[in-house]
Amino acid sequence: MNEELTALHLQKSLCEEIRNILSGMCFPNPLGEETKMQVFPQALPIERIEGRSQEEDEDQADPYPYCTVRIMEGARQEGNALVKTNLLIGLYYDETDNQGHARMLNVINRICHRFLADPVLDRRYLREGKMEWAIQEDDSHPYYFGGIAVSWKVPEIEREDRFA
């Protein structure tokens, strides 16, 4: 099996591509600074510092802005695998106009446009089918959330011929 063609490598390539897509954008964080989008595979990191209690850890700055690239499920067929991914996005926007959803839609649009214009990722993975996106329904100002569901064709293991 080619180790570079697994769902784990797809996730790594997708994280890098999201960083590239959003590299020209800056976003506010809860500390009032402008920063780049942080991209994490599967989940947000758990930061624990030795000697601090869990309550002290919870008082630390939130990881906004972020995007997590989650591998959700997969299916295998001869020649290809189909891997479903979810991109979960969190933004912080503390302006009184309460329009953080506009920034979220801009991020979603940039990501979707990239893969609709060119469905190939890292010369190996092919976006398959439709891309679905959503933003949160409930108001959680100054935190805003959105997501994109994308499926990928991943080259699979070739069947061995014992008699060849």
Query: What integer pLDDT is reported at residue 158 of this predicted model?
Result: 61
Integer angstrom CA distances of residue 107 from 52, 86, 103, 145: 35, 14, 6, 11
Within a domain: residue 92?
A: yes
CATH of the domain at 110: 3.30.2000.30
Q: How confident is the model at residue 1 (pLDDT cuts 50, 70, 90)?
A: very low
In the predicted structure, residue 82 carries a pLDDT above the cut 60: yes
Within a domain: residue 32?
A: yes
Within a domain: residue 140?
A: yes
| Number of domains comprising the chain | 1
Token pair, residue 147, equals: 């997501």
Within a domain: residue 160?
A: no
In angstroms, the CA 164 to CA 162 distance is 6
Within a domain: residue 86?
A: yes
Within a domain: residue 71?
A: yes
For residue 106, what are the domain limits?
A: 3-45+54-155
Within a domain: residue 37?
A: yes
70: three-class secondary structure by DSSP: strand
Average pLDDT over residues 102-111: 98
pLDDT in tens, 27-81: 999 999 999 999 999 999 887 555 555 555 555 568 999 999 999 999 987 778 8
> What is the model's pTM?
0.85
Closest CA to 110 of 129, 131, 96: 131
Within a domain: residue 124?
A: yes
